[in-house]
Structure 1
Amino acid sequence: MLRDYREEDADAIVRVARAAFAEFEPHFSDWPLFTANVAKMPQLARTGEIIVAEDGGEIAGAVAYIGPRAPKPAFFDPAWPVIRMLVVDPGARGKGIGRQLTEECLRRAERDQAQAIALHTTTIMTVALPMYLRMGFVRSGEAPDILGVPYAVYVKSLA
């Protein structure tokens, strides 16, 4: 079940985010800094909409949808809505939760009459990146490395 984020979800989505990214620890040059940034996920609710996925009454995933007029990093076109921090608890993987969260972001982009939606990710994300490509996202350029890990921008046309 998908629903909008509530303030009382903050600790649970930070726990899920840390668990979701744990497998990537060897790739980042400063893991404590990376996890400190991951723990800021609830702050994305200030400029965007966090969507929460529940499975059996527990928070199993979350994603932030940053709308077309909201502030975002300069490597994104300001007119694009952006998908940020898609996370799924490792114990809940394989149930389509990541895809459902992404599809909800696409619905919100259409609601906002956006012509395209974007995200940035990396090739080390061997589940997420292929899912985005299957869903029609296309690599459109580079994004700054994050602590030694190369990232790129992917865009899906909605027009």
Structure 2
Amino acid sequence: MGHIHEVSVREATAQDREAIAELMLEAYSQYAAVMPELSWKEYSSSIRESAYGDRPKARIIAEIDGQIVGSVQLFLSSEAAYGKPELGIESPIIRLLAVSPNARGRGIATLLIQESIRRSLELGASTLNLHTSDMMASAIQLYEKLGFQRAYETDIDNGDHLVKGFRLDLDQLQFRQNAVS
């Protein structure tokens, strides 16, 4: 029998930032082929900058054998996440969920989202938000499976494509958890 490698989830440290930037770029590079070149350059630059910026409330990483294989950032508002207070989101938002292509299919994205949900509940939030686009079809399937629903009023049209808003109602989630226990 092969050795099962356990995934651990923890808060990132400042020393993890370059590895997180590389991981996010590796994970998102598959979209370079379907984006206009200038858009990809801007997107990849913003991805790298986000690994070093001070706007996230939390940077959560997943590791296997000490190697970072996944990450997600948790922001407290649409202003912090996107510089867009006009979206009116004053609750946690997850951004830049990334899993190394070599580690996909192991439930790492789900673990990172579950940790984001746990932290959002700790903060007393009633919703957890995210944004994605149709080119990320497998991500959308996962979000919907985990209970996220479209939040049309938070959609962003960035010119190239529609960035769709999704929201998870944590109050309903809490109710379901309490009903089960």
TM-score by length of 1: 0.91
Structure number with the higher strand fraction is: 1
Give the C-alpha shift of residue 158 in structure 1. 0.9
Give the superposition deviation at 1:143.
2.4
TM-score normalised by the chain length of structure 2:
0.80
Closer, same or farther: CA 52–158 of 1 in aligned 2, 3 Å? same
Moved over 4 A (4+): none
Query: Which protein has the larger Cα radius of gyration, Structure 1 or Structure 2?
Result: 2
Higher RCO structure (Cα 8 Å, ≥6 apart)? 1
How far the C-alpha of 1:43 sits from its partner, in A, is: 3.3
Structure with the larger helix share? 2
Residue 78 (structure 1) aligned with residue 105 (structure 2): no
How many residue pairs align between the two structures? 159
Alpha-carbon displacement from aligned partner over 1:9-53 (angstroms, at most 9, x marks no partner): 111111110110111112222222211111112235444100011
Structure 1: where are the runs of 5+ without partners?
none
Distance in 1 between residues matched to 2:159 and 2:34, nearest whole Å? 9
Equivalent residue, structure 2, for 1:17: 24
Q: Is the 8 A contact 2:27 2:101 kept in 1?
A: yes
Structure 1 match to 2:128: 117
For 2:147, give the aligned amino acid: G
Q: CA RMSD in A?
A: 1.9
Q: 1:97 aligns with which of 105, 108, 117?
A: 108
CA shift at 1:140, angstroms? 1.1
Would the aligned equivalents of 1:34 and 1:147 in 2 still touch at CA under 8 Å?
A: no
> Structure 2: which amino acid aligns with 1:6?
T
- Identity, % of aligned positions: 26
Instruction: State which drifts further: 135-144 or 52-61.
Output: 135-144
